[in-house]
Amino acid sequence: MLIAIPDVLDAAALAEVRRVLDAAEWIDGNETSGRQAALAKRNRQLPEDGAAARAAGGVILDALGRTPLFVAAALPAKVFPPLFNRYEGGQDFGLHVDNAVRMKRGSDFRLRSDLSATLFLEDPAAYDGGELLIEDQFGTQTVKLPAGHMVLYPASSLHRVTPVTRGVRLASFFWIQSMVRDDGARRILFELDQGVQAVAAVQGQGAAATVKLTGVYHNLLRRWAEV
């Protein structure tokens, strides 16, 4: 399932993240690459354990917890601390697939990467290129979202970032281990959740139909969740 999630960062949170990023020192993006990705990757990143990444990442993690659409779509068990990248001057990231397991350096933190997320941090009119191209069952999807918006997609997807030929593309990227490993099962739960919310909006939270559908949702989640 590929889903765009609008307004993960409001104007104040986006301004705080940009303040941190604009003052930060950037390093070669291959500091965090796997063997395959290092062959295709040309960008810069914030040091994973640096103060800037921790500060900006904390703002993003707080915002994710306040974003119901993210929680419903991802059913997160673990979220990798957000990382940050910067593309300019023709830099790009060739076709690749994300590592199945991500480990945080210097710790025992690790997760299975069920979902990948890209949170855009620059106005799309401020740069040319930099589209995120994701291959899914319906073909290649092109994603270039407003600042503060995020795309969530299966980490098993082949994807790439096209060259940035004008301006600077700034984004945060990270991975999620879901309570529900199977993408098809997550899709069913997400669609059911959206249906429950639609029924509740019309009939009320206490209506018999809402209660029954909510029970079906939780019984399916109980069957599929790994916690």
Give pLDDT tens digits along the chain (227 positions): 999 999 999 999 999 999 999 999 999 987 655 555 556 889 999 999 899 999 999 999 999 999 999 999 999 999 999 999 999 999 999 999 999 999 988 889 999 999 999 999 999 999 999 999 999 888 999 999 999 999 999 999 999 999 999 999 999 999 999 999 999 999 999 999 999 999 999 999 999 999 999 999 999 999 999 98
Q: Which residue has the tokens 């940035």?
A: 164
Tell me if 218 is assigned to a ligand binding site: no
User: CA nearest 132: which of 173, 166, 100?
Assistant: 173
Residue 30 pLDDT:
76
Give the side-chain half-sphere CA count within 13 A for 37. 17
Tell me if 159 is assigned to a ligand binding site: yes
Residue 135 pLDDT:
95
Residue 39 pLDDT:
64
- pTM score, two decimals? 0.93
Q: How many helices and strands in the chain, by DSSP H and E?
A: 6, 16
Contact 190, 73 (CB under 8 A): yes
Tell me if 18 is assigned to a ligand binding site: no
Residue 32 pLDDT:
57
Complete domains list, the chain, with CATH: 3-178 (2.60.120.620), 183-224 (4.10.860)
Tell me if 96 is assigned to a ligand binding site: yes
Tokens representing residue 105 in the block:
């350096």
Q: Could you give phi then psi for residue 105, rounded to 5 degrees?
A: -60, 140
